[in-house]
């Protein structure tokens, strides 16, 4: 488990270093993710990490927030903030430092947790290991929003294997989440890591296959890129359908960006 927590922390360290380079006006610029500003993106991450800390270390606080959110939804209200229970919204460098504080606390709690522990969440409970991977995926994917906005080149590392694993694990869920039957067979996945290592999942097949750079695969399953804008080889109807709608994060079905929408070079 400590390995997943260390990978998560390294992901946050990289994003924090990027945020230190932002000018004051950059925080209010729209990223290519739904038009969210950097403030919006980082507030979203902060709220997730803050809630994770509550679940891991302050379960009574977590329960109160979840109950209050459910009551708000019953009244037809939307949003994740609950006045008096969740943090008051801030932005800019203050948000960066507040996010960093809770992010590190979350990583420390995960690193010291029993791997057998189940973590309560807004959706189904998860193992400590899977929870750390899910938070890494969120941090990495939303970090890409900032990289794309700034048109900065990004150096990726083999720790994205955790995200690729999550992408493969959610093959069936991608379809059931849309009320569809998962196609068969499950495609073989063969990816090249940033280091050049080869990673494989599922039964070998050249008829139903997704192959290519692991970074591209992770960008597709997190819906940071359309499949048309990456260098993946996709063979077979099952694989083509999956890559068209892949979604490794929780929540209602979402459509990936249109071709060309998220292509931003340095």
Domain boundary among 132, 154, 176: 154
Q: Are residues 72 and 173 in the same domain?
A: no
83 and 10 in one domain? yes
Q: Do residues 33 and 165 share a domain? A: no
One domain for residues 119 and 34: yes
Least confident interval from 53-57, 74-78, 180-184: 74-78
**Same domain, yes or no: 143 and 230:** no
The per-residue pLDDT for range 195-219, each reduced to its tens digit, is 999 999 999 999 999 999 999 999 9
Query: Is 79's pLDDT higher than 80?
Result: no
Asked whether residue 15 falls in the same domain as residue 112, the answer is yes
Q: Is 218 exposed, middle or buried (0-12, 13-18, 19+ CB in 10 A)?
A: buried
Residue 260 lies in a domain: no
* Same domain (yes/no): 53, 182: no
Residue 2 predicted with pLDDT over 60 = yes
**pLDDT confidence of residue 266:** 56
Distance between CA 220 and CA 227 in Å, rounded?
6
Q: What pTM, to 2 d.p., does this model score?
A: 0.94
Mean pLDDT of the 109-136 span: 92
Report the pLDDT value the prediction gives residue 137, as an integer from 0 to 100.
98
Spatial contact of 230 and 219, defined as CB atoms under 8 Å apart: yes
Number of domains in the chain: 2
The string of pLDDT tens digits covering residues 88-100 is 999 999 999 999 9
Q: Look at residues 200, 210, 196 and name the one whose alpha carbon lies nearest to residue 239.
A: 210
**Least confident stretch, 68-77, 140-149, 218-227:** 68-77
Given a cut of 90, is residue 69 above it in pLDDT? no
Predicted pLDDT of residue 74: 83
CA 146-164-217 angle, to 5 degrees, is 65
Residues 218 and 88 reside in one and the same domain: no
Across the range 130-146, mean pLDDT stands at 97
Query: How far apart, in Å, are the Cα atoms of 198 and each of 156, 191, 192?
Result: 15, 6, 5
Domain extent at residue 143: 2-154
What value does the mean pLDDT of the chain take?
94
Say if residue 149 is in the same domain as residue 172.
no
Residue 256 lies in a domain: no
Q: Provide the CATH number for the domain around residue 55.
A: 1.20.120.450
Q: Which of 154, 181, 203 is the last residue of a domain?
A: 154
pLDDT band at 170 (very low <50, low <70, confident <90, very high): very high
Q: Which of 137, 154, 171 is the endpoint of a domain? A: 154
Q: Is the pLDDT of residue 261 over 80?
A: yes
Percent of the chain residues past pLDDT 90, beyond the cut: 88
Are 103 and 44 a contacting pair, CB within 8 Å? no
In a domain, 91, yes or no: yes
pLDDT at 82: 82
* Whether residue 62 is found in the same domain as residue 16: yes
What tens digit of pLDDT does each residue of 14-51 get?
Answer: 999 999 999 999 999 999 999 999 999 999 999 999 99
Average pLDDT over residues 140-153: 96
Q: Is 264 within the bounds of a domain?
A: no
Q: Is the pLDDT of residue 265 over 70?
A: no
Residue 238 included in any domain:
yes
CATH code for position 173: 3.30.1050
Decide if 258 is inside a domain.
Answer: no
Ranges 7-11, 67-71, 72-76: which has the least confidence? 72-76
In a domain, 228, yes or no: yes
The predicted structure's pLDDT at residue 75? 85
- Residues 181 and 82 occupy one common structural domain: no
110 and 195 in a single domain? The answer is: no
**Residue 255 in domain:** no
């Amino acid at each position: 488990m400590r390995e997943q927590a260390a990978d998560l922390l390294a992901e946050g360290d990289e994003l924090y270093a990027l945020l230190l380079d932002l000018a004051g006006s950059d925080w209010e610029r729209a990223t290519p993710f739904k038009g969210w500003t950097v403030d919006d993106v980082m507030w979203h991450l902060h709220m997730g990490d803050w809630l994770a800390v509550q679940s891991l270390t302050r379960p009574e606080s977590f329960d109160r927030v979840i109950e209050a959110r459910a009551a708000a939804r019953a009244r037809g209200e939307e949003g994740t903030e609950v006045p008096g229970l969740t943090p008051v919204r801030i932005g800019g460098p203050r948000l960066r430092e507040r996010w960093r504080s809770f992010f590190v606390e979350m990583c420390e709690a995960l690193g010291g947790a029993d791997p057998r522990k189940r973590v309560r969440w807004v959706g189904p409970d998860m193992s400590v290991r899977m929870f750390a991977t899910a938070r890494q995926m969120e941090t990495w994917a939303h970090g890409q929003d900032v990289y794309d906005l700034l048109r900065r080149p990004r150096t990726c590392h083999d720790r994205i294997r955790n995200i690729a694993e999550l992408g493969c694990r959610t093959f069936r869920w991608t379809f059931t989440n849309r009320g569809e039957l998962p196609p068969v067979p499950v495609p073989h996945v063969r990816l090249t890591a940033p280091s050049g290592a080869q990673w494989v999942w599922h039964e070998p097949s050249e008829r139903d296959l997704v192959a290519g750079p692991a970074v591209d695969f992770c960008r597709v399953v997190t819906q940071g890129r359309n499949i048309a804008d990456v260098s993946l080889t996709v063979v077979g109807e099952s694989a083509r359908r999956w890559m068209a709608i892949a979604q490794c994060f929780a929540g209602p079905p979402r459509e990936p960006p249109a071709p060309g929408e998220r292509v931003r070079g340095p």
